[in-house]
């Protein structure tokens, strides 16, 4: 079975990896390399000037810092809110709990674009345009995260909580000391997914940022003008810088992600 899936897995890997490889390789291309026939996969000469052009006269470093700050704090707040909400839905018993949970899950049926205008009006009314809080405001609540964490927490016996309470353990200590370590697998996946989603968001940061100094890298890179003619090299260099945090995060967490997936789906 594994041998039969190997060619398919290899093809899928090539499809996923090739755009990243070609973007990185293209960031070192000379202008003439892009028009060569047959198409080049490697630069004729290593052209580091593309990176200099990408950063020269632009705020690319500032854009990247804005994206990293938004993704980091947005993910932090989202995960804290999701964990606390999922904990309440899993371990507490209160009137209307199930109805409230259904209401939270029902919001998943609403497309984000349908709420875009009203969310923008709210942020503008609160004076949060061109602020980090305004950028991450729509990312703080993630019903799908609450749902997945709640389903995972339900697999953990309430006897752990009852025993902890008898020992004088507070809810906060129970969450930090026992619940989160037991849920490490799903937390790693959701955290990386959240960080990637917020970092790659384009439309919402475009709406709530007018100042160039507050733009995220996804917005700022589309507004970079290198010259009157289209230059692919500097654009590829800028895109390589843009994608590097996500790629590095995946590489550093690769083993933990594999362990998490194995633990979650195979029970090993």
pLDDT digits (tens, 9 = 90+) for 190-215: 998 899 899 989 999 999 999 888 99
- C-alpha distances in Å from residue 110, one per residue of 12, 95, 100, 103, 106: 32, 26, 16, 12, 8
Rounded Cα distance between 267 and 257, Å, is 14
Half-sphere exposure of 147 (CA within 13 A, CB side): 10
pLDDT confidence of residue 267: 47
Asked whether 153 and 179 are in contact (CB, 8 A), the reply is yes
Mean pLDDT along residues 185-189: 87
Give CA separation, 49 vs 43, 55, 59, 109, 224, in Å.
Answer: 13, 10, 17, 47, 16
Compute CA 226 distance to the chain's CA centroid, rounded to the nearest angstrom.
28
Question: Alpha-carbon distance 123 to 147, whole Å?
Answer: 26
User: Rounded to whole angstroms, how far apart are CA atoms 50 and 29?
Assistant: 8
- pTM score, whole prediction: 0.80
Residue 155 is classified by DSSP as: T
Q: CB within 8 A of 261, min separation 6: which ones?
A: 185, 189
From 233, 261, 169, select the one nearest 30 (Cα to Cα). 233
pLDDT grade, residue 264 (50/70/90)? low
CA distance 236 to 58: 15
Q: d(Cα 86, Cα 42) in Å, to the nearest integer?
A: 49
Higher pLDDT, 34 or 134: 134
The per-residue pLDDT for range 15-64, each reduced to its tens digit, is 888 888 888 898 898 888 888 878 888 888 888 888 888 777 668 888 88
Q: List, in order of start, the domains of the chain with CATH numbers.
A: 58-264 (1.10.3720.10)
Q: Does the pLDDT of residue 230 top 70, yes or no?
A: no
- Say whether the peptide bond before residue 38 is cis (omega within 30 degrees of 0): yes
Question: Could you identify the residue written with the tokens 């619940």?
Answer: 179
Residue with tokens 């083993």: 255
């Amino acid at each position: 079975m594994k041998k039969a899936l190997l060619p398919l897995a290899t093809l899928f890997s090539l499809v996923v990896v090739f755009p990243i490889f070609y973007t990185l390789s293209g960031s070192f291309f000379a202008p003439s390399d892009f028009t060569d026939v047959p198409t080049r996969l490697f630069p004729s000469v290593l052209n580091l000037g593309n990176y200099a052009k990408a950063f020269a006269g632009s705020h690319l470093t500032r854009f990247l810092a804005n994206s990293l700050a938004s993704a980091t704090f947005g993910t932090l707040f989202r995960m804290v809110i999701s964990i606390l909400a999922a904990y309440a839905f899993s371990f507490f018993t209160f009137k209307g709990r199930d109805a409230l949970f259904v209401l939270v899950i029902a919001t998943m049926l609403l497309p984000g674009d349908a709420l875009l205008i009203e969310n923008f009006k709210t942020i503008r009314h609160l004076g949060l345009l061109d602020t980090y809080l305004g950028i991450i405001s729509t990312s703080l609540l993630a019903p799908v995260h609450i749902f997945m964490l709640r389903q995972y927490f339900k697999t953990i016996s309430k006897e752990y909580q009852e025993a902890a309470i008898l020992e004088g353990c507070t809810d906060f200590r129970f969450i930090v000391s026992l619940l989160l370590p037991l849920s490490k697998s799903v937390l790693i996946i959701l955290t990386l997914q959240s960080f990637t989603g917020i970092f790659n968001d384009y439309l919402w940061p475009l709406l709530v940022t007018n100042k160039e100094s507050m733009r995220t890298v996804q917005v700022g890179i589309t507004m970079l003008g290198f010259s009157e003619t289209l230059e692919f090299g500097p654009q590829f260099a800028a895109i390589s810088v843009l994608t590097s945090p996500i790629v590095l995060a995946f590489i550093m967490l690769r083993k933990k992600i594999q362990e998490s997936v194995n633990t979650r789906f195979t029970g090993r």
